[in-house]
Each structure stands twice: as structure tokens, then as C-alpha cells.
Structure 1
């Protein structure tokens, strides 16, 4: 790539009139037929002007030379096909998905669900239920039979019959004949979302409407509601009461002996380390992770702990797992919504709540750009796709070209049968829990439609939203420049040290750094995530630890870049103070750094 590829139009513009006299959308220059506008250069120049220490480079013409070098490197990266590499596409897609959340309305829906979850978390409900099993893979006849059965049971419950007795008689939940379907108290995220929603929508003493979950059809009765208590931190010493032929002591006697040692002044943590048979907590002096009601598998243990005062130590008592002595360390108040917001959003992004977010976003895209369903995927794919797809052995070439009809249209894009076939070919090797081809195809078509709609929206965003286009373009170019420098200079240096020395001698003047900084840049469209990252940096956490803490498989909260940057580099936030330490947060048109 050399400067002769730059269109003569650039020379004419610079030579005849000031740059800012041009209209924003006027083409400033072209590189390999790719147009670069006056507006793009002006935005980068004004953004980075305060960072440029060299007065000569602050002049427009001189800064333009830097800008051209920057764009030539990007063009060279594309010429080498670096924008098609899997590593580049994976990294870029992560950032694109994270940045686009604020533009595709996903954030609004997610926050509404997070607020709903927080409000529910302030209360616990006591529920019993009756379940009639019904899988989504059942035949229509079996599904209808299950629905009719639960409807008849509900009629009996509404007539005044004892709900728990009905559960013992009819419910297909394991152990229902013993428990009467009683689930005790629970709160948000303890049950699948449709069940949870019905529980919170049903009044105390009432029998609910029928609700469908992945387990089948349910009805429930709400017996009580109470404010939820905060979590607690406790330590315990446990002696199991399981039969063990290797033991030569009675569990109850052993716990009483330990309690006597405790009363004689031996430290609780020392006794836990020495005698507790919960080895996971024993090594920490018996200390358990903080927990709330309903999170342990022992109701007796929870009830005992919640009845205690801080710094109180219990007498020995028996739970479902054995004998315990408990010391209550701390009672934690329920955090505010703002304190829990990020964790709530992460949980919303999982499970059935995520389907609500996806459905809402998909409908918004359809309404905005226009959506038209042309053909039903099912008849052809039911015929052409066999059960072998569940083992990842289906061949997409089985879709005849003459039957490649339009599935749907979104905006000006037509989506064909072959597009869905290619999607199936790509996805079939991923592990699946489906045992039915019909249910698998249904789930995959939903995923295909979601991916296609989102892909279309992202393409339109760069055309319609100047702010989004600017941010995503800078990140795209930054990744490509890193890759082209890495593959052409840094990696080659490892294998050609003599050549590197000779080249350096010939171009020694070109290798003189201007003022530079070694820095880590953390950025996100979510200001709260950047604030959390800044605090963790100040606490001494590494970048990798921060990414592990704030990012998940399904949601990227922050993007982190580390390197050495010249002052004035477009990748550095405008107006940043060049001094050692963790900076304040800078807002670059919605991109917080």
C-alpha cells in the first residue's frame, strides 16, 4: 500500500480551500475506492487535539498526515485479509454486541426485568403446587390430555377441597405424596420464571391460574407472604450422622465434646479446622459463604441461623445432614437496586427471562424496518432433515436449489431457505439436549431469525446512527492496525532478528518515539461497568481478573486494551491527564473510558 493510491481529489481539496469550509459529507480522500469524509477527519482531529503536545502536529495539515498514515494501515490490513480472520471477527463481534445493546433497545427491556426482579426479591412467598408432567416434545394429544387433567384438578381445588391433599393424590412431582406439593418460602430466581411470575401474581389464600413451564402444567396455592431478610455470614462445626464403619465414636457425643472444648475457651475456628467434617468450610475455620433463606438444602439449619443474634454461638443441634454448632458472624442488609443492578442484569440475561428480552427486541426490529413472512420453514425442513442432525451429521446440500424459496423479508433483505440450511449446518455440531428433531428445528429457527434480524439492524445502524458508526469504526480500525503491525513487524521480528537490525540501521530516525504512555484502556457503553472496573483497578486487581469479574459468556460488559501509546493517539480518550495512576472516566460520545 502506498500513497499513490490516494485519490487526486484529496490534493485538490487541500490545495484550494480550508478543510472546514467543506461540507461534512464531502469526500476528503479515497483509499482503494473507499471514501473518507471531511466529517470523519474533523471528528477525530477535534477529539484528539488536546492530547497532541507537539505544536506542529496540532496544525490541520500536519495532523492530516498522521490521519492518512492511520488509514493506510487500515487499508493494508484489509488488503492482507486480516479483517476475515476468525480471531479478528470474534473480538470485533464481542465488542459490536456489547456496544449495540444501547441502540437495539435490549438495555431498556433488560432493566425493566431487573427492576421487577429486585421488587420481587424484597418479599418471599409460601407456595404449594400440583404438577402434571408434559414435555414440549409431547404430541398434541398428550399435551391436551395433560391440560385437561390439571384443569379438572383446579376445579376441585376451587370447590374448596384441601389443596395439599389434592397434591398428594394427583401431583406427578416426585415425593408429592409425602410433601403435599409444599415448596415452603421462596423468592426471585428460585423457580423458573413463568412459575415465579404466577406465584407473585396470586393473592394469599387463592388458587392460581394454570401455568405452563418446561416441566409441565402447574396450579398453585399461595399460603403466605413475608418481607425477605438479608443474607447472613456464619461459621459452623459439623459432625455427620451417616453410618461409617471406620468411625469409633458416636456423632452426638463427639459434637457435645467439641462444644465443651468451646465453652472451655478453645477458639471456634481452631475446633472447626480440627474436628468439622465439612472439609470445604473447615479449612476456613468453619466459615461458610454468605447465604439467604432458601439457598441451602437444610431448612432446619437456616431456621436456626436466622433465629440467632450476631456473635451468638449455638448449642449443638441436628439438621438433615448431621450435628452442628453455629456461630453467627454477620447479618447483611438487603442491598439497594443500584448496588445489585449489574448482577441482576447478568441474571436476567440467563434463563427464560432472556427469551423475553430477545422477543421484545425482535419485534421492535420487525416494526421499524418492516417484516414479511413469505413461507413456512417446517414442511420442507421436516422432509429433508433427519434425526441425524441431532448427532451433527446432516448435510445442508440436501436442500434442492429449485426449492430455495424466500422465508421472510426484513427491510430490503430477502432471507432464503438456503440461509437457514447453512445456519443448521454450522450449528449442528454444538452440544444439544434435544431428543426430538421437531423441537430442535423449532428452537434453531428461532435462533436463526434472531441472528438474522440483529445482523440486519447492526448493518443499518452504521448507516443511520452517526454516533454508533463513529465508535464502531474506530474500534474496527484499531483492531486491524494492531493485527497488521503484529503480523508484519512484531511477529517477524521474532524470526528475523538480523533483518530487523539492518532495517533499524537504515531507518533509525523513524524509530524515535514521541512522548508516550504505557496504559490500559477500559471502555464500555455502560458507565456503571466502567466505574466498577475503575474501582477494581484501584483495589489492585489485574485486567484479566476484572474481565473475569464483569464479563460473562452471554454478556460482555467491558473491553480492555493494553499497550504503549503516543500522546495524541486516536485510541486514547480526549483530554486525558497524562499522569501515573487510574484516571477519571471520560465520555466519548456514549463510549465511557
Structure 2
């Protein structure tokens, strides 16, 4: 589901439930005469209670303000007839179609494929293969040649050895002999995966065809999945163009020495890792599965660590230097835990074709549609060579209004399939016979219309689907209203945004910064020595020489312009020129020499533009909602509100 759909569902989180303690018809308030029930307000309040971050909004009166504002906006949207816009109708239709895809499926076949997928991802296969390339639309004669060639190679491999034949025949153009190393479920096309998993270790599969051509696969080994690893890393960034490669290598080695000296991994990650997204969390990464990463050396290092707590030597990837610590080893998850993810993967994979075929069979039975179509010979007789030239048209004497097939209450005619044939000429090639073209086209035509009919009648057939669609309607309406009235309007009101900035400049200031040196060490007494040397005016390089050695790194220095949120600085650090006291920070000790203080400065409009625009939109929305409240009077039934508050307090 895309971002817009997610936002719409957030706006429209009003599901259809009835609270038993207040009558469904009891009116809590009206908006210009339109009633809003207390039961609706209660279910909205209860549903969104855990989502509200602002504690004040949990107050019933405060939440009532939000709710009435929502209803005011919907009132305005319908007054502007936004629900009649073609774009709104089209968007709603697209959403219904998208949502329907999760309802229109064959659950039995899906479940079988998900179980199979779980078994596949639970094991890795190591294999090599030979491929004879062949286009998907190859002629029967070319197909036979390729099949005979792959059979000959298989016979050779059985007698001479697969590896010998593989290396000899590979030319990288028409024949590929490749070592695939280890792979798991979903890493190969489905037909290839089937052959690999169904072939015993040490044996060669029979020839099989994928969209790439004919293959034989030699399965060398199988193993249980390596599961999942959770690791932390300390990273020093580099790039191929970076002129400071040696400096980065030296810094990672210094950090590694501190680890060997007994300093904790998490502390050093917090202080020095340049992966800003993980440094504050001790370098912890999201769990990693085999085959998931782009960097082979990083993945091999992760899975090469044997025991929890093991730490790697520094390694170099395309992104920089890393030191990796193994935090957790986890076997592959249980089936029930993985099932939702695997189901989505199955539905995006070639396996989905099997699900589709099962669905079409079920829908034909549901709507009483025969698999046989006696009218097809008539259409075969209408085709001629113009069809291969993409210029074929229905003949003048075509029997357009003759009944073709009935799906439920809908009657499809000859002209429906005839027009389908005209529009889909570009999918056919001269290698296909007219009979093959018509049979394939009718199968696609019938399946498409079966699904279309189910989609159009799904609200009648499935109550849950109907409820979700109803929820979406209001949300989409509100989204369109906000987009046209506030968001887009604010973006184009450049003068208004500029004036807002000029009137609220004090909100847009660059924070105070300092030019500083931060010395970090696991030992407080070491920093006392550093402090004395700094007081004497000794340079950082000279101090390093005195307190560090090739074998032992006691202090790491960070020199740059910093603001108060810099990771090297302790919380609430006072900006004051000179050498600070020693602070406990990130499970270590730090000493700061403030060389200069750069005062708070006024940001320019361009520097603040994103935040100014957001603030301006909020300002405009507040004004607009006040105007709506004047336009559409809101009248709250205070007695009912008291009952609502009383009921909510008992929960």
C-alpha cells in the first residue's frame, strides 16, 4: 500500500462498531443540522486512544474538538462536491481494486504454497548449472534443438563429471555454466528452485525449462538455513574518492586496539561510529539473514562469528571500515511467525500464477461458467494474416450482439471478445497458429472478466471488505480537501510564507556551536593527564604521542565544530571557553577544550523554508477551521456528552 493510502487510512480510522451502552441513534452533536452519534464518537475515541501521542488529546473535551473539526472538514468537502470529482471516483476505484486483491484469491492453494516456501527458506542449496539460452517465444524446431542439446550435455555430465563439462561448454553467450554457490527459497525463478530442491545431493536434474532456456542443475550440498544474526558494528566511513583513506584505516585500528585493551564495544560505538543511525544504540543493526546483504565480505564476517560476544577484526567494504560484534544467533523463525511475510512473497512471485489458476477455476464454478466455449471456431475463422501485421479488424458481417458467455448476472457478447482480439494483436507473433491465438486470448478474456465481476460485487458478498471500503471513502475525501485547500495552497502562496517567516523569525535560529576538541578515554586518570597537558598548551598530536602508543590507544580525540547534540558531548554540556572538567559519558570519560563559541545566528529564509512551510500550513489550517465552524454551526448535546464522559471513565 502506498504512502497516500496510508495517510488516508490514518484520516479515516473510524471503523464500524456499535457500543452497547449508548444507543446507536443517540446524537452527540450536529454539524449544520447533520447528526453525529455518541456511539460513533466513542468507538473513534477508543480506537485511537493508543495512537494519540499528545496526552491532552486523551481528554474527552479535547478529543471532541478534533472530532468536530474532522466532521467540519468532511462537510465542506461534500459541499464542494469533491466526492463527484472524476479523480476521486477513480482513486476510490483503484483502492477498491487494490484491496480486493487480498480478498480475491484461492486460500487453499495459497496455504500450500506458503508451507512449501517455508520448507524452502528453512534450507539452503549449493548448486551449479548449465543453461542453453532459448527465447520464450522460440519456434518448435528451435525448442527441439535446444532440448536435444541439453540432453546431450546431461549425458556427458553423467559420464565425464558435471564440473568438467560445465567449464568446457560455458561461452557466456549461448551456453552458461555457472557456480551458483548457496541459495535459498525465492532467490531463483520458481521452476529453477523446484528443480534444485527436488534433486538429491550429488545428482543431476533432468532438463527443465525456464523463461531463460533449458537447464540442468547439479546439486552439490544442502544445509539447514543459517537463520538470523543480530550484530552491532563500529563504522568509519570512506569512499573510493576519499583522500583520507589512510586516516580512516588508522582510526579503525585505534578503535580496535581499544577493544583489545578491554574497553566495551557499545561504548566505543557510541563515541566513534560514523553510522549515525546506529551509533547511539551501541552500533546495533537490524537482524540479518543469509543472502540479504549487498556486501559479501560483511555477510561472511557476520556468519563467520561463532559465539555471541565474538568481535571481528576490522574489515573493509565499499562503504568504509567496520568492526562487527555478534549479539545474537537465532534459528529460522517458526512457521506461524513467518507466515504473513511468506504469503506476501508468494503472491509477488511466479507462484502467484498457480494461485491465479486455482482462483479462475473456483470463480468459473461459483458463477456457473463452462470451460468449453463452442463459439471459438467462429472467431478462429475470422482471423487472417493481417493479425500478424497488427492491422486486423472485425469484418462488417461480424455477429456483434450474439451472446457469448454469462458471468453471474452479466451477459458478455461476441463484440466484447471481438474487441478484445482487436486490442490485443500486439501480444501475438507469427509463430502462433490462429487456433492458439484465439484459445489463449479467450482464456485471458474470460479470467479477466471473472475477476472483474467478483471485484464489482465484492461489497455485496463480503461484509468485512464493505466496511473497509466505507472507511476509506471519507479518508480519501478528507485527503483531497486538505491537499487542495491547505497543503498545495500554502506551497503556492510564496508571499504569505515569506511574510510568516518575517513575523516569526525568532522561531528559526541556528543553534549555538563551538569549535572544540573532545578527548575520550575509558580511564579518568588518563584524562587528568591530558587536561594538564592541554593547560600547558600542548598540541593534540603531541599529547597523542605521550598518552598513546602503537600497542595501546588510551585516548581518542575528536576535533570539529559541534552543537549541543553532538554525540561526543555529554548531555547539558555548558558552552564555555577553556578546558572543562571530566565528564562521565557513554560509559566512558570525556574532556572538552572549547576553543571558540559561535553564537546563535538567524537562519535565512532558504535555510528554514521546509519548517516555515510546515508552520504556515498549520497556521492556515487553524484559520480555515475557525471559518468552517462559523459557516457550519456545531451544536453539542451537553447531557449526552456527560453520559459519554461517564461511560469512558468506566473503561
TM-score, normalising length: structure 2:
0.52
Unaligned runs of 5+ in 1: 1-44, 58-65, 67-72, 388-393, 429-433, 518-565, 569-576, 584-593
Q: Find out whether 1:52 has 2:23 as its counterpart.
A: yes
Q: Find out whether 1:512 has 2:635 as its counterpart.
A: yes
Q: Which residue of 2 aligns with 1:197?
A: 194
Choose from 178, 186, 196 the match for 1:181. 178
Q: Which residue of 2 aligns with 1:138?
A: 138
Task: Return the alpha-carbon distance in structure 2 between the equivalents of residues 470 and 117 of structure 1.
Answer: 31
Cα deviation per residue 1:307-336 (whole Å; 9 max; x = unaligned)?
A: 322221123467899975322232234222
Choose from 347, 350, 365 the match for 1:349. 347
Aligned 8 A contact 2:234 2:273 in 1: yes
Q: Secondary structure at the match of 2:376?
A: coil
Structure having the higher Rg: 2
Aligned 8 A contact 1:241 1:323 in 2: yes
Alignment of 1:150-161 (within 5 A): 150-157=150-157, 159-161=158-160
Cα deviation per residue 1:451-482 (whole Å; 9 max; x = unaligned)?
A: 3111223456667x485797589669978998
Q: Secondary structure at the match of 2:115?
A: helix
Give the CA RMSD over aligned residues: 6.2
* Structure number with higher relative contact order (C-alpha < 8 Å, ≥ 6 residues apart): 2
Cα deviation per residue 1:114-166 (whole Å; 9 max; x = unaligned)?
A: 22211222211222211111221333333332222212222223x33311222
Q: Secondary structure at the match of 1:98?
A: helix
Q: Which residue of 1 aligns with 2:366?
A: 368
Q: Could you say if the C-alpha distance between residues 472 and 155 of structure 1 is closer, same or farther in structure 2, counting changes exceeding 3 Å?
A: same
Shift of 1:578: 6.5
Aligned 8 A contact 1:132 1:171 in 2: no
Q: Which residue of 2 aligns with 1:128?
A: 128
Q: Which residue of 1 aligns with 2:287?
A: 290
Q: Which residue of 1 aligns with 2:573?
A: none
Task: Return the alpha-carbon distance in structure 1 between the equivalents of residues 326 and 272 of structure 2.
Answer: 19
Cα deviation per residue 1:207-247 (whole Å; 9 max; x = unaligned)?
A: 21222222222111222221112211224457899987946
Unaligned runs of 5+ in 2: 1-15, 29-36, 38-73, 487-619
Q: Secondary structure at the match of 1:349?
A: helix
Q: Could you say if the C-alpha distance between residues 49 and 330 of structure 1 is closer, same or farther in structure 2, counting changes exceeding 3 Å?
A: closer
Q: Secondary structure at the match of 2:88?
A: helix
Q: Could you say if the C-alpha distance between residues 126 and 173 of structure 1 is closer, same or farther in structure 2, counting changes exceeding 3 Å?
A: farther
Q: Secondary structure at the match of 2:289?
A: coil
User: Across the two proteins, how many residue pairs are aligned to each other?
Assistant: 446
Aligned 8 A contact 1:92 1:476 in 2: no
Choose from 338, 341, 348 the match for 1:340. 338
TM-score, normalising length: structure 1:
0.56
Task: Return the alpha-carbon distance in structure 1 between the equivalents of residues 475 and 97 of structure 2.
Answer: 12
Aligned 8 A contact 1:132 1:216 in 2: yes
Alignment of 1:31-430 (within 5 A): 51-52=22-23, 85-92=86-93, 94-95=95-96, 98=99, 101-102=102-103, 104-157=104-157, 159-171=158-170, 181-236=178-233, 246=243, 249=246, 256=253, 258-264=255-261, 268=265, 288-297=285-294, 299-308=296-305, 309-316=307-314, 325-369=323-367, 370-371=369-370, 372-373=372-373, 374-375=375-376, 380=383, 383-384=386-387, 402-403=397-398, 410=407, 413-416=411-414, 418=416, 421=419
Shift of 1:88: 2.9
Task: Return the alpha-carbon distance in structure 1 between the equivalents of residues 141 and 480 of structure 2.
Answer: 61
Aligned 8 A contact 2:229 2:288 in 1: yes
